[in-house]
Amino acid sequence: MLLQQGYFPILSALLIFVESMKNTRVLFSVVFSLCFVIACKKMPPQLPANKNVDDVQNTMSMMEINHQLALREDSLLQVYVANLKDKSFRKTETGLWYKIEKTKQGKKIKNNDVCQFSYELFSLDDKLLEKNEQEIIVIGKKQTIKGLEEGLQLLRKGDNAIFIIPWYLAYGMKGKEPLIAPYVSVIYRVKVFE
């Protein structure tokens, strides 16, 4: 009946479309499966575009250079301290030189203590760089340079001291511009409040 009413061309087009859909589904399934298999295949890791295999070696070289610079600074500070009239300076394992000028019988400063002190910051040629009448920090919270924090932990509340701090415990490779250039050791004269 449908053939008599002129629907033959439409039916044949519909049958062709259905047949092509079956092929399309099969083709789609094959393509999807291939994509899934390829995507799930473990690929070797790639280096970021800004990294190079030589970067690891360069990092090691930079660490060695910094180590050599620190050793050189230690020997220079040893000569500097030897040339001072005052022979009562002592050196810590990290390279900090210190002299406790006035000591009290108070409680020793330790981690997490609130420490209130005044300081004068000098260059090794005795030029005053900075002065602060009242600084308050919490020891161990990295609120000041490492060498000053280490030196404060050698003191008791009420003590006065002088610290000769090598650059690697002070302001390091960056310095504290404009006052302190990179790779410069400094002297702190400190009075800890009771």
What pLDDT does residue 113 have?
92
Q: Is the pTM of this model over 0.85?
A: no
Residue-level pLDDT, tens digit, the chain, 194 residues: 444 445 455 545 545 555 655 666 655 565 556 556 556 666 666 656 666 656 656 666 778 888 888 889 999 999 999 998 888 999 999 999 999 998 888 789 999 999 999 999 999 999 999 999 999 999 999 999 999 999 999 999 999 999 999 999 999 989 998 899 999 999 999 999 98
Distance CA 108, CA 21 (A): 85
Listed in sequence order, the residues at least 6 apart from 126 whose beta carbon sits closer than 8 Å to its beta carbon are 187
Sheet holding 160-165, edge to edge: 90-91, 97-102, 160-165, 186-192, 114-123, 128-138
pLDDT at 144: 93
In the chain, where the domains are located: 92-192
Q: Does domain 92-192 have CATH number 2.60.40.10?
A: no
Q: Which class for 157: exposed (0-12), middle (13-18), buried (19 or more C-beta within 10 A)?
A: middle
pLDDT of residue 42: 65
Query: What is the pLDDT, as a whole number, of residue 47?
Result: 59
Contact by Cβ (8 Å): 144, 60: no
pLDDT at 70: 87
At 181 the pLDDT is 92
- Terminal alpha carbon distance of the chain: 111
Give the per-residue pLDDT at 7. 47
Which pLDDT belongs to residue 137? 94
Q: What is the pLDDT of residue 155?
A: 94
Taking the C-alpha atoms of residue 151 and residue 161, their distance in angstroms, rounded to an integer, is 9
pLDDT at 66 (0 to 100): 83
